[in-house]
Structure 1
Amino acid sequence: MTRRRSLRPEDEEIWRVVTRTITPMHRAAPSLSTFDSPPVKPEAAVKLHHAQPRLPHFSLGEKARAKTAHNLAPTLAESLGASPLQMDAKTHGKMTRGKLAPEARIDLHGLTLAEAHPDLIRFILNAQSAGLRLVLVITGKGKLRDDTGPIPQRMGALRHQVPQWLRMAPLGPAVLQITEAHLKHGGSGAYYVYLRRR
């Protein structure tokens, strides 16, 4: 003999709520449940609202409707080109085409960031005190290394750091303009630094 279980009052209330929301598959079939509820009225049935899709409908093979803008950091050339022109436009044009020869140069190849920063400060301040206007800072393009970490690392630490150093104190007041060098002076692995007069 099977023993019937009785429900606690709170479970019985939950059961009644659930049975009000269902419709029987076979209307004529007698109910064998001991916890019968009154027949379900159509007005009492809960109406379900389906969520609206966030993306518009598309079919396979359809062309993209609009390009999505990605918020990527600008390249070094773009960020340097976007900076306002502080020097004479004619001189700037000659400089970017490689027509002006740098009066001094420093090569930071193979140095760490800790070694390169004081050398760059010393070089720029000495060049300004000597009355030089256009100097070349060679950083190199950087080496491609194994990037096994979860955060991607940029290639060329010096290439990315030198323009920031040139804008910060103590070099910021001495520097008038920074641009990437022409190909004959190193291309994207070097920078023209145009200095202010003392």
Structure 2
Amino acid sequence: MSRRKLRPDELDLWNKVAKTTERMHPPKPSKVKQGLPFRDDKKKPDQPRPEPMERFEIGQKSKASGARHDVLPGLPEQIAAAPVQMDRKAYDRLKRGKLKPEGRIDLHGMTLDQAKPALQSFIMKSHARERRLVLVITGKGRQSPDDGPIPQRPGVLRHAVPQWLRSPPLSQMVLQIAEAHLRHGGGGAYYVYLRRKR
């Protein structure tokens, strides 16, 4: 398809429009094609060169003390940081191992599928019998020699039990969770302080 030539009135109109425009990209000297006339770019006055910037390194003004690579705090820190819901004096006695648990369940050797219903049944029965303090023994978990490319914290039950106790239906019966004193199992067991039955 051949292009038609512009008529004189169209060429006049084009020239008027072209005079009101500025080039977006200045032409390169070696590849300038002859075509329709454009208005010459305005020459800018010489500007002083900007001063060189001072050397910048990423994080040079950061106030962070050091990189922490562990996203979540450890389980003992999470439980210890939880607000105290029960009586403060009773809680202090509990942490010193002075309160005697009224019941206990040992989840050693159970899988997650076996342990969850056993724990739920135990907590519900203890709450129905109006027990206030029970002991849940999970064990500390085995340290495997090779965890693979994704590191895992040892003690699957040890990490799952607090989550189960904080979610329904058990969360309605549980007032406080605390790591057990050494005489009751230490890091491998939890004190579970139950709410009063209404």
Where does 1:56-75 land on structure 2 (aligned, <5 Å)?
56=60, 67-70=65-68, 72=70, 73-75=72-74
Query: For the residues of structure 2 that align with 1:177 and 1:55, how far apart are their CA atoms?
Result: 42
Percent identical among aligned pairs is: 54
Unaligned runs of 5+ in 1: 1-11, 15-47, 57-64
Could you tell me how far 1:100 is from its partner in structure 2?
Answer: 0.6
- Name the counterpart of 1:196: 195
Deviates more, 1:145-154 or 1:169-178: 145-154
The change in CA–CA distance for 1:54 and 1:106 in structure 2 (over 3 A counts) is same
Long gaps (5+) in structure 2 = 1-28, 32-51
How far, CA to CA, are the matches of 1:13 and 1:54 in structure 2? 41
Q: 1:79 to 1:66 in 2, by over 3 A?
A: closer
Q: Deviations for 1:140-190, whole angstroms, at most 9, x for unmatched residues?
A: 000011334211111000000100000001100000000000000000000
Using the size of structure 1 for normalisation, the TM-score is 0.68
Confirm or deny: 8 A CA contact 1:147 1:153 kept in the other structure: no
Once residues 90 and 53 of structure 1 are traced to their aligned partners in structure 2, the CA distance between those partners, rounded to angstroms, is: 53
> What SS class does the counterpart of residue 191 from structure 2 fall into?
strand
Equivalent position of 1:183 in the other structure: 182
User: How many pairs align?
Assistant: 155
Asked whether the equivalents of residues 181 and 187 of structure 1 are also in contact (C-alpha less than 8 Å), the reply is yes
Note closer, same or farther for the CA distance 1:66–1:117 as it changes in structure 2 (3 Å cut).
closer
CA distance in 1 between partners of 2:154 and 2:30 (Å): 66
1:151 aligned residue: 150
Q: Kindly tell me: are residues 95 and 51 of structure 1, through their superposed partners in 2, closer, same or farther at Cα, counting changes over 3 Å?
A: same
Question: What does residue 167 of structure 1 align with?
Answer: 166
